[in-house]
Structure 1
Amino acid sequence: MTFLSILCALLIEQMKPLRADNPIYAEIKSLALRMETWFNAGHSTHGRLGWFLMMAILVVPTGLIYWVLKYYNWTLAAFAWNVLIIYLTLGFRHYSHYFTSIQLALNAGDEAGARALLAEWTKLDTIGMEASEITRIAVEKSLITTHRNVFGVFFWFLMPLGPAGAVMYRVSEYLARAWTEPEHMRNEAFGQFAARAFYWIDWIPVRLTAVAFAVVGNFEDAIYAWRNFAHRWTNEPLGIILSAGGGAMGVRLGSPAETAVKAQVIDATTVDIELEDDVMPGEEPNIRSLQSTVGLVWRALLLWMLLLLLISSAWWLGASP
């Protein structure tokens, strides 16, 4: 039922994508804002309390409904509940129109239009950006969004929590952003627990996504970039996604050198090896990188679905008399 639930949700989303500004998301954002207003007194313990209360309000009912449906063997209702929750938590098509529009604008030579679209999508200052920089940021945003809106949701849905796990992942991801990234929250202790909680919740999914990118792309370069450059990002999970994803496509993403640790100086005359430049493998992003990103994401998605089908088939065969 797990495989069919995800497959149905993906098909429904392809036919009728859920808008990122839908009423359900708006209510969750409003609730998070109220939690911040009620509990933020400048201490991390208050953020912990607000985080657990958000989980109790959103995650616990989701799990209870699913477990009640399973307990009474209402299989069809449990299946429908799974599909609904996955549909609401997945975001495969939430921002794809931005990516596609940027790709079309750059292919048409409309850099101004591409900059405007990128600014609307990322909220960054894109004035004066060249095509290569627009491409790089669009690719990075796409890889990160795909991981958080798709692959991370897949992982937690497959866990014993089921649909409650998917809700927990998406809510924790949103709280980690909403309570730390806004200008007025960056130096607040309130969001520290939310950020740390999501780090651990995302610890396994982010590495599985990197492995998937490596398997369906250039495996050697992806693993090399992951091992040697991911830790140089201030945000390690993002470093893993971008280094592995960029290596898989043969594209240099991000700027890890800004936070790189100082390497020990080696005298080349004393060692019998050929030293290489300490740079990530691949070429600078270009317009072709956008199409490569689309291919990488779809291949990774198909890999996840294939593995899920194999696991589900093995479970069905094992459960049959």
Structure 2
Amino acid sequence: MSLIIILICLTAERFLLHKQALHQPVWFNDYSDWYYRQELPVWMRNGFGGVISLLLQQLFDVTLAGLPGALFACAVLLYSLGPNDLDQQISHFIKARDEGDEQHARGVARNLLNDEPPPHDPAYSQAVAESILIQANNRIFAVIFWFLVLGPIGALLYRLASRLPLTHTAGEDLDFHLFSRQLVSILDWIPARITAFSYAIAGSFEDAMNGWRSYNEQRFDEFSDSASGILICTGSGALRLASVLDRNRDDTTHHLYLVEAAMSLVWRSLVVWGVMLGLFTFADWL
């Protein structure tokens, strides 16, 4: 049943639902602001206690919706994916660059990176390609992982937790921000490594494993968290990004092939997940 629900939700998000506003967690931002303003004990509003209390309260409220099991699971998983369609964003980015609309392209890139992109290629396209490797885990793979482990509440838990560092409360309370980042890192630890391994299977396995080892041995300090580091190093290895850039170092055109290759790797990895889930489901039926 889990495999069927996942396939239904991935298909619906990709082909049936085009109103991205339905995925935007504006309500959660408003809810967190309201929660922060309540006359609650300090331990329930600040730091680690505030993070956990806010999440548990909201998860408890959601479970009271009373929807039948399968319908509830579909609704929650579909909401938890995203909030933006990664493939659609990349399509807009590539189209904008092809048409010379750099303002739009940089706006999309800024949204993907949560930062200002580099000014010129190949660093510009490489940064977007690396962000795809991270965002695919955050928006798709980690959500599916926690759905499989804890059901629909697991998927929602991950989605809400990933929003906590971006809330007004996190901006006002440094401890809240730090603990919310730590919570996301904990939730990302296992799915990020499974996603990285799926990148290796879907791409150049040996180069991907070399990238993983290079992160552990040499590049650990380059990244703000281990999930991002492993995803970028392993995914870049799977794409043979370094050798591709070296062969095309004199190319003065857009390096959009890097972005396209990264998105293709994500789709192949999703197929790997689907095949593995299908095999586990089939084995369970026997």
Superposition TM-score, scaled by structure 2 size:
0.83
C-alpha deviation, 1:136, in angstroms: 1.9
Say yes or no: does 1:295 pair with 2:264.
yes
Match of residue 257 from structure 1: none
Q: Residues 48 and 175 of structure 2 are in contact (CA less than 8 Å); yes or no, is this contact kept in structure 1?
A: no
C-alpha deviation, 1:21, in angstroms: 3.5
Give the total of aligned pairs.
Answer: 275
Say yes or no: does 1:107 pair with 2:93.
no
Match of residue 252 from structure 2: none
* Structure ranking higher in helix proportion: 2
- Cα distance between partner residues in 1 of 2:169 and 2:123: 26
Sequence identity (%):
25
Q: Could you tell which deviates more after superposition, 235-244 or 282-291? A: 282-291
Say yes or no: does 1:89 pair with 2:51.
no
Gaps of 5+ in 1: 70-76, 253-280
C-alpha deviation, 1:59, in angstroms: 2.3
Say yes or no: does 1:138 pair with 2:128.
yes
- Cα distance between partner residues in 2 of 1:243 and 1:235: 12
- Cα distance between partner residues in 1 of 2:119 and 2:41: 40
- Cα distance between partner residues in 1 of 2:45 and 2:157: 20
Superposition misfits of 4+ residues, deviation over 6 angstroms: 39-45
Distance verdict in 2 for CA 1:38–1:196, change over 3 Å:
farther
- Cα distance between partner residues in 2 of 1:191 and 1:116: 25
C-alpha deviation, 1:226, in angstroms: 1.4
Say yes or no: does 1:154 pair with 2:144.
yes
Q: Residues 137 and 192 of structure 2 are in contact (CA less than 8 Å); yes or no, is this contact kept in structure 1?
A: yes
- Cα distance between partner residues in 2 of 1:251 and 1:92: 28
C-alpha deviation, 1:30, in angstroms: 1.3
Corresponding residue SS for 2:82: coil
Corresponding residue SS for 2:227: helix
- Cα distance between partner residues in 2 of 1:199 and 1:209: 15
Corresponding residue SS for 2:127: helix
Q: Which amino acid aligns with 1:13?
A: E
C-alpha deviation, 1:134, in angstroms: 2.6
Distance verdict in 2 for CA 1:234–1:65, change over 3 Å:
same
Distance verdict in 2 for CA 1:197–1:86, change over 3 Å:
same
- Cα distance between partner residues in 1 of 2:86 and 2:224: 25
Q: 1:204 aligns with which of 190, 194, 208?
A: 190
- Cα distance between partner residues in 2 of 1:24 and 1:102: 20
Corresponding residue SS for 1:131: coil
C-alpha deviation, 1:9, in angstroms: 0.8
- Cα distance between partner residues in 2 of 1:198 and 1:120: 19
Match of residue 225 from structure 1: 211
- Cα distance between partner residues in 2 of 1:118 and 1:245: 19
Superposition TM-score, scaled by structure 1 size:
0.75
Gaps of 5+ in 2: 249-254
Q: Could you tell which deviates more after superposition, 14-23 or 3-12? A: 14-23
RMSD: 3.1
C-alpha deviation, 1:191, in angstroms: 1.8
- Cα distance between partner residues in 2 of 1:224 and 1:56: 40
C-alpha deviation, 1:169, in angstroms: 1.0
Distance verdict in 2 for CA 1:83–1:26, change over 3 Å:
same
